[in-house]
A and B are shown apart, each in its own frame.
Chain A
Amino acid sequence: MLKSLPTAHTPWRHTAGRFLALALVGTFALSACSGPGAAPSEVAAKEFTCDTQAASDADASLKLFTAAGTAEYAQSLSDAFMKKYPKITVKLQTEADNNYNTVLPRLLASDNPPDLAIPNDLIGAVKDGLVTNLDKCAAAFGWEKEIPSSVLAAGRVSGGGIGSGSLFQGGGASGPLVGVFYNRELAKRVGLEKIPTTVQEFEAALKSAKDAGITPIVASNADGLTGHLFNLLLGTYMGPQDLLNVVWRTPGATLDTPEAKEAAAVLEKWADAGYFNADANAINQDASYGQFASGQGLFLVSGTWVTQSLPKSFDGKYGIFPFPAKDAGSGQVSMTNNQLAMSIASRSKSKEAAALFLDFLSTPEAAAVASDAGYPSALNTAAGAGVTLDQNIGEQIQAGYATIAADNGFDNWLNNATPEVNTKMTEQLQSLLAGRTDANAMVSALQATYAASRDK
């Protein structure tokens, strides 16, 4: 190390100090009058009229943003679209599943945004002016006539809440079913003779698996994915509409209810009884798929998108049933999010072509692609005859979806209420599984986070 002369220090220090002081003063002066950031302006000055007449026959290139886990599905959709409109190219922009929500707002605000995406935080995206108002498209494409208003409601935003107002997300109507995947061979071994339709029957199945030395539920919780089960329980006990109100930030909606605590208490009871794999808190989703597919557990609670991720060699060896009802007199519920409804970036340079893509999403061709990917159509659900153990998984998904639709039981994930709630849930679920918190404390903590972040 060089030892510098003490005299050489003085002028350097002085000048550098002066520079630094100047820069600091400058910054504070700046910060005093102008804060960072402002809503990005729309690129096109002219109003978007959703007139796709010219776009169908013009060269255009669209960028579709997708999570890695659903990339295969997005590719199939794009291929079907490009077959119909050969002059328009659709390119995928893929991001890791757990980065999808993180990256999307920044991309939408950039100068080169993806044209199409499904923002989970739609309220935030609307507030920041990142997505295009689709009211004109709804009129032009006749969505209000074709698509049930309850499905369209998920794409409407007004006054910091979802459910009414202008439409910002549209297209067709197909989404995943979230339920209970089971290993057919292990189900036979623990003597599961029929699909459990009440929580009590399901609990009995969990116990018989545990007694037989089989892990009842394989879950990954390093990434907080026991959240799927928690959300199912919330919807089951609170009723789907009350959960939806929380997620959609309806005025007055709260999580601080006896029903929500009851739901959390069920999860706590199952955790205490050792119904989860011992390493749940240490593993991520891929590891849990691996354990489930290698027969290390009876159930996996997740959505039908995992059929795209489970190994092909496991096909035919597993099935799915919708989550059981609270009791014989209640309906069955499932979270879903429309995988055929998308938003158009407000900074997109090809909005008309993107609108054409949304129009395509409401066609039977698109619905067929969605169905193949495990997203049944909400438009023509056959009356649910119920799910049986001997159906193949495709039939079970259709029948399960129809069951929930018949019960009006679709809701959404509490995780989507606000970004902070999503982060908090992971931490809380890990604590609950390890017995470091209890059901009441968890619900209170989540409600506190929700209340603090919903009106920001």
Chain B
Amino acid sequence: MSTHIGTKDQAARTVRVQRRPGRRTFRFRRWAGWLFALPALAFYGFFNLRAILQSVQYSFYEWNGIGASTFVGLQNYIDVFTQPELLRPLINAFYLILFFTVIPVLFGLVAAATMRTMEGRFTGALARTLLFLPQIIPGAAAAVAWSWMYSNNGVINQVLRAVGLDSLTRAWLGDFDYALSAVGFIGTWLSTGLCTLLLISGIGKIDTALYEAARLDGANAVQQFLNVTVPGLRRELGVCVTVTIISALASFDVVYLATQGGPGGTTMVPGVQVYLLAFNDARLGAACALAVVLAVLIVAIIVPLQRLFQERES
């Protein structure tokens, strides 16, 4: 709004000074807005764009981060797709989507629908708080806490022993078959709160008349959920899915603190691999190439998803 007034004012003044509204005025009007955005753009360019472009540049070099570098063309990218130890983290990241996105969103939907019908202000608030609580705990802290629970004498094995399932007990984060799922479940625990809260607020905006109409038409709770709640939450679902998929693909803190990618690379994710390549192995070029591939992948997944959730809107 204010820009409109501004430009009108500017235009009026330019007209007064310069009788002929020529090409220059038109140009000035067009660029005036950019002038205001310039300071912010400069910061964005310097701190965001430059860093991104620098990563792209580094990805074409073999460089240890300190000494001289060698231009190697696309070799780092070829490595990412041909060396199993660089490809595997990408596959693991996709597996984590199940735990970071699918389960939390499904659970969040059910929980939100249940809480809509929950009587009493206190119980509702209590349930919301309890579910949201994990969200305010940093991933790093959660990973440390969970690695205690997953340990040989941790809560999870204690519970298993208590119910006579001794044969199932194991050091979960050190197990080749279960470590990735165990790490993924930490992610489930972390993102469920966000999804539930977003979906609850979305449900609040659905016109209650729709539910009444559905009831009058004889729809039961499940039918109401599928035909009123889920369609009404499309936007919120879009946000949930976008945010959690990004956190799954770009995960670092949880994995780094829980397993550092072990045992034997079974829980390695791109974020941790990038860190190890850059700082442990002193292969900055390869690290940047993997990071660029990851970024491109995330964009390639998120953009169609955004379209999907928006198109149905109209």
A interface with B by C-beta (< 8 Å) = 1, 11, 15, 20, 23-24, 27-28, 30-31, 35-40, 101-102, 105-106, 109, 124, 127-130, 221-223, 278-283, 287, 419-420, 422-423, 426-428, 430-431, 433-434, 436-437, 453, 456
- Most chain A CB within 10 A, of B65, B69, B151, B282, is at B282
| Per-residue contact bits, chain B 67-85, to A (CB 8 Å; 1 contact, 0 not) | 1111100000000000001
Q: 10 additional contacts, CB 8 Å, given A27-B53, A282-B171, A420-B281?
A: A35-B70, A109-B66, A128-B67, A129-B67, A278-B170, A281-B175, A281-B262, A419-B281, A428-B264, A453-B281
Q: Is the CB of A283 within 8 A of B281?
A: no
Q: Considering the chains assembled together, what is the distance between the CA atoms of A221 and B151 in angstroms?
A: 14
Q: Is the CB of A281 within 8 A of B34?
A: no
Q: Considering the chains assembled together, what is the distance between the CA atoms of A15 and B57 in angstroms?
A: 23
* CB-CB under 8 A for A279 and B152, given A422-B280, A423-B280, A434-B264: yes
Closest to A24 in B: B53
Q: Is the CB of A283 within 8 A of B60?
A: no
Q: Considering the chains assembled together, what is the distance between the CA atoms of A30 and B276 in angstroms?
A: 27
Q: Pick the contact of B151 from A36, A106, A282 — CB < 8 Å?
A: A282
Q: Pick the contact of A434 from B58, B61, B263, B279 — CB < 8 Å?
A: B263
Q: Is the CB of B66 within 8 A of A279?
A: no
Q: Is the CB of A430 within 8 A of B263?
A: yes
Q: Is the CB of A35 within 8 A of B45?
A: no
Q: Is the CB of B262 within 8 A of A426?
A: yes
Q: Which residues of A contact B260 (CB under 8 A)?
A: 222-223
Asked if B294 lies at the interface with its beta carbon under 8 angstroms from chain A, I say no
Q: Is the CB of B280 within 8 A of A102?
A: yes
Q: Is the CB of A35 within 8 A of B174?
A: no
Closest to B169 in A: A278
Q: Pick the contact of B57 from A30, A106, A282 — CB < 8 Å?
A: A30
Q: Considering the chains assembled together, what is the distance between the CA atoms of A221 and B284 in angstroms?
A: 26
* CB-CB under 8 A for A35 and B279, given A27-B57, A222-B173, A222-B262: no
Q: Is the CB of B65 within 8 A of A37?
A: yes
Closest 10 A/B residue pairs (Cβ): A282-B174, A281-B174, A279-B171, A282-B171, A35-B69, A431-B264, A430-B263, A128-B67, A281-B263, A279-B152
Q: Which residues of A contact B65 (CB under 8 A)?
A: 37, 105-106
> What are 10 A-B contacts with C-beta separation under 8 Å?
A1-B235, A23-B45, A36-B58, A105-B64, A124-B64, A128-B67, A427-B262, A431-B263, A434-B176, A436-B176
Q: Considering the chains assembled together, what is the distance between the CA atoms of A287 and B171 in angstroms?
A: 13
| Per-residue contact bits, chain B 219-260, to A (CB 8 Å; 1 contact, 0 not) | 000000000000000010000000000000000000000011
Q: Considering the chains assembled together, what is the distance between the CA atoms of A1 and B313 in angstroms?
A: 12
Q: Is the CB of B264 within 8 A of A282?
A: no
Q: Pick the contact of A37 from B60, B68, B170 — CB < 8 Å?
A: B68
Asked if B99 lies at the interface with its beta carbon under 8 angstroms from chain A, I say no
Q: Which residues of B contact A222 (CB under 8 A)?
A: 173-174, 259-260, 262-263
Q: Is the CB of B67 within 8 A of A39?
A: yes
Q: Pick the contact of A105 from B45, B172, B282 — CB < 8 Å?
A: B282
* CB-CB under 8 A for A278 and B262, given A37-B69, A101-B280, A128-B67: no
Q: Is the CB of B57 within 8 A of A31?
A: yes
Q: Pick the contact of B281 from A27, A282, A423, A431 — CB < 8 Å?
A: A423
Asked if B100 lies at the interface with its beta carbon under 8 angstroms from chain A, I say no
Asked if B198 lies at the interface with its beta carbon under 8 angstroms from chain A, I say no
Q: Is the CB of B152 within 8 A of A278?
A: yes
Q: Is the CB of A37 within 8 A of B262?
A: no
Q: Which residues of B contact A278 (CB under 8 A)?
A: 152, 170-171
Q: Considering the chains assembled together, what is the distance between the CA atoms of A30 and B69 in angstroms?
A: 14
B183 smallest CB distance to A (angstroms): 12
Asked if B63 lies at the interface with its beta carbon under 8 angstroms from chain A, I say yes
Q: Which residues of A contact B71 (CB under 8 A)?
A: 31, 35
B82 smallest CB distance to A (angstroms): 14
B46 smallest CB distance to A (angstroms): 11
B136 smallest CB distance to A (angstroms): 25
Asked if B133 lies at the interface with its beta carbon under 8 angstroms from chain A, I say no
Q: Which residues of A contact B202 (CB under 8 A)?
A: none
Asked if B49 lies at the interface with its beta carbon under 8 angstroms from chain A, I say yes
A227 smallest CB distance to B (angstroms): 13
| Per-residue contact bits, chain B 36-63, to A (CB 8 Å; 1 contact, 0 not) | 0000000001000100011011101111
Asked if B30 lies at the interface with its beta carbon under 8 angstroms from chain A, I say yes
Closest to B174 in A: A282
Q: Considering the chains assembled together, what is the distance between the CA atoms of A281 and B259 in angstroms?
A: 9
B169-205, CB < 8 A from A: 170-176
* CB-CB under 8 A for A36 and B174, given A11-B30, A101-B280, A422-B280: no
Closest to A291 in B: B152
Q: Is the CB of B53 within 8 A of A23?
A: yes
Q: Is the CB of B63 within 8 A of A102?
A: no
B76 smallest CB distance to A (angstroms): 13
Q: Is the CB of B152 within 8 A of A38?
A: no
Q: Is the CB of A283 within 8 A of B171?
A: yes
Closest to A98 in B: B260
Q: Considering the chains assembled together, what is the distance between the CA atoms of A78 and B62 in angstroms?
A: 39
Q: Is the CB of B265 within 8 A of A427?
A: yes
Asked if B146 lies at the interface with its beta carbon under 8 angstroms from chain A, I say no
Q: Considering the chains assembled together, what is the distance between the CA atoms of A339 and B68 in angstroms?
A: 30
Q: Is the CB of B174 within 8 A of A31?
A: no
Q: Considering the chains assembled together, what is the distance between the CA atoms of A437 and B262 in angstroms?
A: 14
| Per-residue contact bits, chain B 19-37, to A (CB 8 Å; 1 contact, 0 not) | 0000000000010001000
Q: Considering the chains assembled together, what is the distance between the CA atoms of A234 and B196 in angstroms?
A: 54
Q: Considering the chains assembled together, what is the distance between the CA atoms of A37 and B151 in angstroms?
A: 43
Asked if B150 lies at the interface with its beta carbon under 8 angstroms from chain A, I say yes
Q: Which residues of A contact B70 (CB under 8 A)?
A: 35
Q: Which residues of B contact A436 (CB under 8 A)?
A: 176, 264
Q: Pick the contact of B62 from A124, A279, A456 — CB < 8 Å?
A: A456
Q: Is the CB of A38 within 8 A of B68?
A: yes
Q: Pick the contact of A106 from B66, B68, B69 — CB < 8 Å?
A: B66
Q: Which residues of A contact B69 (CB under 8 A)?
A: 35-37
A442 smallest CB distance to B (angstroms): 11
Q: Considering the chains assembled together, what is the distance between the CA atoms of A289 and B152 in angstroms?
A: 15
* CB-CB under 8 A for A282 and B235, given A37-B69, A124-B282: no
* CB-CB under 8 A for A130 and B151, given A281-B174, A423-B281: no
* CB-CB under 8 A for A128 and B64, given A282-B174, A431-B263, A434-B263: yes
